């Protein structure tokens, strides 16, 4: 099983178990983007039970980028996490993804938890305080 298949299976298993909730953004019944929140993750930087939730896999189709869709999805996920009572929300982003980093920083993800590298490349873990 390759990396993409493993990741897809992990996402599917998290959805089925209730550990992941995914929101889909549609325009005229067309998929435009999505974002997920994960409740428990093996990495303590990403989740702390009942305190910190992990924003995972936020994407917008290429042709819809730079139109505010990412901000809409991000605002919705932040709001949802607050409604669930979480105090913090974390995420990981590739260091070379300047558009996403700019959006996250603009929305308050300004605390750097970790900078490092994995099999996909260099990335940074960011945190936003909700309360």
Q: Are 107 and 53 in contact (CB under 8 A)?
A: no
Predicted TM-score of the model (pTM): 0.91
Query: 1 falls in which pLDDT band (50, 70, 90)?
Result: low
Minimal CA–CA distance to 107: which of 117, 81, 19? 81
Q: What is the CATH number of domain 3-129?
A: 3.40.630.30
Domain ranges of the chain: 3-129
pLDDT digit string, tens, across residues 66-93 = 999 999 999 999 999 999 999 999 999 9
pLDDT digit string, tens, across residues 48-65 = 999 999 999 899 999 999
Sheet containing strand 88-94, strands side by side: 20-27, 30-38, 52-60, 88-94, 121-129, 111-118
């Amino acid at each position: 099983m390759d990396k993409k298949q493993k990741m897809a299976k992990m996402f599917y298993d998290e959805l089925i178990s209730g550990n992941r909730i995914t929101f889909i953004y549609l325009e005229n019944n067309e998929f435009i983007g999505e974002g997920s929140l994960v409740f428990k993750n093996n990495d303590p930087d990403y989740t702390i039970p009942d305190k910190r939730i992990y924003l995972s896999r936020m994407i917008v189709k290429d042709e819809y980028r730079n139109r505010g869709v990412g901000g809409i999805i991000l605002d919705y996920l932040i709001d949802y996490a607050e409604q669930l009572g979480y105090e913090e929300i974390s995420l990981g982003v590739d260091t070379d993804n300047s558009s996403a980093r700019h959006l996250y920083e603009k929305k308050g993800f300004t605390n750097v938890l970790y900078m490092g590298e994995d099999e996909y490349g260099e990335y940074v873990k960011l945190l936003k305080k909700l309360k």
